[in-house]
Amino acid sequence: MSKKVGKILIVDDDQYVTLSLRMLLEQHFKKVEVLNTPKLIPETLSRQVFDVVLLDMNFRPGETSGKEGIKWLQKIIEQDPNTSIILMTAYGGVDIAVQAIKDGAVDFVVKPFQNEKLITTVTAAYQLSQSKKAVKHLRSQKEILSSAMDHQYANMIGRSDIMQSVFHTVEKVAQTDANVLILGENGTGKELIARALHRNSPRSGEVFISVDLGAISETLFESELFGHKKGAFTDAKEDRVGRFEAASGGTLFLDEIGNLSLPLQAKLLTVLQGRKVVRVGSNKPIEVDIRLVCATNMNLAKMVKEGSFRQDLLYRINTVAINLPALRDRPEDIPLLAEHFLKIYCKKYQKPELRVPEYVVKKLQKYNWPGNVRELQHALERAVILSDGNNLKSSDFQFLTEESEEEKEFENYNLEELEKWAIKNALVKHKGNVSHAAKELGLTRGSMYRRMEKYGL
């Protein structure tokens, strides 16, 4: 019989009891430690983690109240809530042991011990401790994942009036459980808005699950969204939870909802109306509690008129509609977005000195951006990768093919040539007035004359 990896701590002032317990438990567990005084518990638990603590209830001669055991029980739980604690008591202390279970102990054993029963009790406590640790680990993973995803989508960038209006709507709607339909072209950031709604809602501590309905086939639709029972179809080798169940308590984001066929729309509507799902291969309804957010780049109202989208489903998902503008309709946001993505990719590709000159930004603002923010993001990443020098040029962007005269003029200049050019142009601008030209360049009149002499001007 292989030993369990678990760590067991025995706390009892009777050395005969600790010796016999240690000999017994070492046959089943890889590590067993003993303390003959409870005063060493805090220091011992600070050094290592135990799965199970066997704790005596009385440590003073003649003491039978069990109060000291209760005190140390509470201290252990406070120090390590994932440790399973089994109390050891004499027959007369059963009542107080039962009370201790209400205070956090997982079980108790009565002296003198029955070996088989003791091993069974300790094994069950060990398994409970492992389960607690697994749950804590999964919860931590979820929090880390949630944090990472929120960080990825945390920056809703835009100073334009139209985006400020979107942000204001998100702020108001997020606090409700209203179904939201997000409309906009591909690449406008519909999932970003969906995540912002979730992050600012009362459900923010729960899961956010995104489903791309355009990527799910007709045959797998029910299985993916509603789940299935083992044996429901050929490849159903085990029970599976659907996306609706998995999102229960949190937010379910259904992207590309306009791609659903009419039969699938009917199945989705049934679930949304009843807030219950039935797994494929089962007839048992399962209640779900979700906040629904949908998105599409299609004109659903037009599709309703054409008969390709159900009107009752549109009403169900469209309590509040949020329209995201195309990037070409908010050019004033392009400098902010470009700077945001530039920081990300300069750090990623280790080019911290890289900048986007103003004339390049102006060209970016004039471009039509059919792929919207997503296209801008990819364009900046590509430009950073391919760039030479510290300034991005028009040629670093595939769609900005023509270099400006300004770019051509400065492409191979060094610092002295640039200074000469600036002084020459300032003098031309101010018709030879040295004082005015010097003031514009931030130079004293004496410094200006020295530079003019240096460059033969």
Domain finish residue from 325, 355, 390? 325
20 with 128, same domain: the answer is yes
Q: Report the share of the chain in percent with pLDDT over 90.
A: 54
Residue 140 lies in a domain: no
Positive or negative torsion for Cα 386, 388, 390, 392: negative
Asked if residue 157 is part of any domain, the answer here is yes
Residue 141 placed within a domain: no
pLDDT in tens, 423-436: 887 888 777 888 88
CATH number for the domain including 359? Answer: 1.10.8.60
| 148, part of any domain | no
* Contacts of 174 by beta carbon, 8 Å cutoff, 6+ apart: 196, 197, 198, 199, 200, 201
> Residue 347 domain-assigned?
yes
Are both 171 and 279 inside the same structural domain? yes
Q: How far apart are the first and last CA of the chain?
A: 96
Amino acid at the residue 395: S
> What is the pLDDT, as a whole number, of residue 2?
65
Based on the fold, state whether residues 296 and 353 are members of the same structural domain: no
Q: Are residues 183 and 91 in the same domain?
A: no
Residue listed under structure tokens 């220091």: 43
With cut-offs at 50, 70 and 90, classify the pLDDT of residue 401: low
Same domain, 363 and 268: no
- Read off φ and ψ for residue 389, nearest 5 degrees: 85, -170
Mark whether 16 and 62 lie in a shared domain.
Answer: yes
Among 385, 395, 338, 379, which residue's Cα sits nearest to residue 362?
338
User: Is 142 a domain residue?
Assistant: no
**Burial tier of 113 (Cβ tally within 10 Å: 0-12, 13-18, 19+):** middle
pLDDT tens digit string along 207-259?
Answer: 999 999 988 988 889 999 998 888 878 777 787 888 999 899 999 999 999 99
- Judge whether 108 and 89 are in contact, CB under 8 Å: yes
Q: Which helix (H) or strand (E) covers residue 52, if one does?
A: strand 52-56
Residue identified by tokens 């086939």 is 217
Tell me the C-alpha distance between 182 and 69, whole Å.
Answer: 59
Domain end residue (candidates: 325, 360, 379): 325
Question: Which pLDDT score, from 0 to 100, does residue 144 have?
Answer: 47
> Can you point out the beta strands (E) in 73-113?
84-89, 107-110
Tell whether 311 and 336 lie within a shared domain. no
Asked if residues 206 and 251 have their Cβ atoms less than 8 Å apart, the reply is yes
- Whole-angstrom Cα distance, residue 76 to residue 89? 18
Q: Are residues 321 and 336 in the same domain?
A: no
Strands (E), 366-425: none
For 295-333, how does the pLDDT look when each residue is reduced to its tens digit (9 = 90+)? 999 999 999 999 999 999 999 999 999 999 999 999 999
pLDDT of residue 93: 62
Condensed to tens digits (0 to 9), the pLDDT of residues 126-182 reads 999 888 877 765 665 555 455 444 444 455 788 999 999 999 999 999 999 999 999
| 37-41: long-range contacts, CB 8 A cutoff, minimum separation 24 | 37/13, 38/11, 38/68, 38/72, 41/11, 41/72, 41/75, 41/76
Residue 336 falls inside a structural domain: yes
Question: Do 208 and 253 touch, CB atoms closer than 8 A?
Answer: yes
Number of domains in the chain: 4
- Judgement on whether residues 66 and 26 belong to the same structural domain of the protein: yes
Q: What is the pLDDT of residue 135?
A: 76
Per-residue model confidence (pLDDT) at position 193: 95
pLDDT of residue 137: 59
- Is residue 289 located within the same domain as residue 384? no
Q: Is the CB of residue 188 less than 8 Å from the CB of residue 296?
A: no
Range of the domain at 12: 4-134
Longest pairwise C-alpha distance within the chain:
109
The tokens 């640039």 sit on which residue? Answer: 418
* Residues 357 and 394 occupy one common structural domain: yes
Residue 147 is assigned to a structural domain of this protein: no
> Please, what sign has the CA dihedral across residues 215, 221, 226, 229?
negative
As given in the structure block, the two tokens for residue 50 are 């135990």
Indicate which CATH number applies to the domain containing 275: 3.40.50.300
Residues 223 and 318 in one domain: yes
Per residue in 403-420, pLDDT tens?
444 444 454 555 667 777
Say how far apart CA 73 and CA 36 lie, in whole Å.
Answer: 16
Residue 65: give its domain's CATH number. 3.40.50.2300
